[in-house]
Amino acid sequence: MTNNNKLIKHSLKQATFKVLLPLFLSLFVFIKSEAQGDYKMMIVIIDGARYSETLGDATHTYTPRMWGLTTQGTMVSSFINDNYTYTSRAIPALWCGAWTDVQSITYNGSSTQYAVLPTLFEYYRKDKSAPATECVYVTKYLASLWLPSFDTDYGENYWPTFHSVGSNDKDVATQAQLVINSHPHFLWVYLDGVDHAGHLGVWSGYTKAIYSADSIVGLLWDKIQSDPFYKDSTNLIVTNDHGRHDDAHGGFQGHGCSCDGCRHIEFLAVGPSFKQNYVSSQSRILPDMAVTASYILGINPAKASGSVMYEILSSNNVSNEPENLTLISSFPNPFSATTSIQYFLNKSGFVNLDIYSITGEKIKVLVNESQNYGLQTIGWNATNGQGQRVSSGIYFYRLQTGGQIKTGKLILKNNH
């Protein structure tokens, strides 16, 4: 090759590189943005509010502010606590996007409990490389706060900042506004006044606490919308950990059973990632909240079992992936020998199907391969990865293809 030809070839390479480099960098920025998410998030948990007195009340007597926000966002009319309907287990499930075991511990001289599975806070801080000041949990003063996990992949280094000040919901509202002034990207606000008032058994006190919590939600949303840092880039999710007994099961003073009053809870979502003036009737379960929040934030809740609620997301702001996966059933369930999990793929793709214990431990990989379009039936004979039969109890399956996840509960009853 002559020197002139070499020079021409080198010049062409340089010119091609100069043309492609900006395109490559643009693509990288797009992918990074899509993967990480650019939105801020506020999640408000109203402990122990029954659906029939919140968004399920056709008169909106106690929740006028939240009902007004439904016209700007989305409500889910069938959002269900699908497991434990008491606070000490449902709050960790909301944190983790999965029903998790909790363990007792003495931490900094106080007796408390921690979640076995990683929390949304830990996923956020690790995936974002975010300092603790970017992720703040606001609650009233509690001498022994429940703790996130000590998971070896996440754990204490990724816990949020705990802002535990005051003695009631109004104090929490004041403190949350102060925290908002410091501009964290992820804020979790916990209001326990409704549950406390409900247990006292005075109807007027219970409904007054709901009205107060509703006002706080409105106040915090107004605060966000008045701040240029948050306005138009912040999503708000409001839900409960559990409801309260319906009248047929003892009335509003208590909770903890499987009645509709305890299981049926509100779900409100407003912000740029959610559809406006939309009511979803698709039934969803409590762990789906954290997984959906993770999707919006662009983080991976690697050990969660919930599913993304694609149907409530705005296609203008968050990719609304078409459903490729239809979960049909698991049968028999409960079972004693073998159960089958059946699903339908609308197109061929790589599929993972795993079995987990109630503590989040992976028990067995049932599928880890590409599968063809059509109906699939996969059996599980109640054994672990080493072929040993597992003990009676509750197990979960997690079925994933692409970005879609379906989960379900299996009940094993050994005949001994």
pTM of the model: 0.72
11 — pLDDT class (breaks 50, 70, 90): very low
Residue 249 gets which letter from DSSP? Answer: G
How far apart (Å, rounded) are the C-alpha atoms in residues 308 and 312? 9
- Give me 31's structure tokens: 């992918």
Report the percent of the chain where pLDDT is more than 70: 88
Mean pLDDT over 252-275 rounds to 97
- At residue 416, the pLDDT reads 52
Mean pLDDT over 2-20 rounds to 42
Name every residue whose Cβ is closer than 8 Å to that of residue 199 and which is 6 or more positions away in sequence. 253, 254
- At residue 368, the pLDDT reads 87
Question: Model confidence over 77-136: pLDDT tens digits?
Answer: 999 999 999 999 999 999 999 999 999 999 999 999 999 999 999 999 999 999 999 999
Q: Set out the domains of the chain in order of their start, with CATH numbers.
A: 38-312 (3.40.720.10), 325-412 (2.60.40.4070)
Q: Does residue 376 carry a pLDDT above 70?
A: yes
Please, is 155 exposed, middle or buried when counting C-beta atoms within 10 Å of its C-beta (0-12, 13-18, 19+)? middle
Task: Name the helix (H) or strand (E) containing 115.
Answer: strand 110-115
List the one residue out of 407, 312, 391, 307 whose CA is nearest residue 355: 407
Q: Which of 93-102, 239-248, 266-275, 393-402 has the lowest mean pLDDT?
A: 393-402
How far apart (Å, rounded) are the C-alpha atoms in residues 200 and 252? 10
Average pLDDT over the chain reads: 88
Report, in angstroms and rounded to the nearest whole number, the Rg of the chain calculated over CA atoms: 24
- At residue 324, the pLDDT reads 67
Q: What are the DSSP calls for 326-379, one per residue?
A: EEEEEESSSBSS-EEEEEEESS-EEEEEEEEETTS-EEEEEEEEEE-SEEEEEE
- At residue 346, the pLDDT reads 79
How far apart (Å, rounded) are the C-alpha atoms in residues 272 and 279? 16
How far apart (Å, rounded) are the C-alpha atoms in residues 179 and 182? 5
349 — pLDDT class (breaks 50, 70, 90): confident
Q: How many CB atoms lie within 10 A of CB 166?
A: 16
- At residue 21, the pLDDT reads 34
List the one residue out of 325, 316, 381, 342 whose CA is nearest residue 39: 316
pLDDT: is 5 or 309 the higher one? 309
β-pairing verdict for 110-115 and 161-164: unpaired
153 — pLDDT class (breaks 50, 70, 90): very high
Q: Does residue 15 carry a pLDDT above 50?
A: no
- Give me 233's structure tokens: 């880039």
Q: Does residue 320 carry a pLDDT above 50?
A: no
Highest mean pLDDT among 222-226, 283-287, 336-340, 399-403: 222-226
Secondary structure of residue 150 in the 3-state scheme? coil
